Structure 1
């Protein structure tokens, strides 16, 4: 699979406790992205954060250490990301979703002429 140099980064901000059909939302999103053959997805877990409610989520305070912030990043073509956004909309009740244009410098193993 190849990604063009000009691509789109989809960034999804959710909480660790968010669910979709009784499974963790982050897991459902990554599995759906894989099923739809998007180039790749990564889930990043944050030690501290807050969202629209301004409620602080952190690992520093034991009673607040649940529902830590997660960021899911997916990079692919504009067309594939646009198609995935429709699916994502049906999976998320809340959260923040951002898009930005990126340049892909390397994806996978270098080509033989780069070795």
Structure 2
């Protein structure tokens, strides 16, 4: 959570406001992290705490510019940085 909102929504809003090229939020079906607690959708009492992945696409400079804000918002989890080769980035315009 970030304030009264899910963290993934707050981060997605940040990336949208900052003009990032794209963001995708994925919910995992099982996983574990630094505390080695296994989270799975099979256990109903843990299903609200499933792993989340937030993928963000933009330039290194743009990502670096918001990292201080991300660090303020994220108090646990893992942040990785991967280089991607973008093959196509388009938007189909509606025909008038």
Structure 1, gaps ≥5 residues long: 1-18, 111-115
Runs of 4+ in 1 over 2 A off after TM superposition: none
Partner of 1:50: 32
Separation (CA, whole Å) in 1 of partners of 2:67 and 2:61: 10
Deviation at 1:63, TM superposition (A): 2.2
Q: TM-score with structure 1 length normalisation?
A: 0.76
Q: Is 1:64–2:46 an aligned residue pair?
A: yes
What value does the CA root-mean-square deviation take over the aligned residues?
A: 1.2
Contact 1:57 1:66 in 2 (8 A): no
Q: Number of residues paired by the alignment?
A: 92
Q: Is 1:31–2:13 an aligned residue pair?
A: yes
Structure 2, gaps ≥5 residues long: none
Which structure is richer in relative contact order (CA contacts within 8 A, separation 6 or more)? 1
Q: TM-score with structure 2 length normalisation?
A: 0.90
Q: Is 1:107–2:85 an aligned residue pair?
A: no
Please state which structure has a larger fraction of its residues in strand: 1
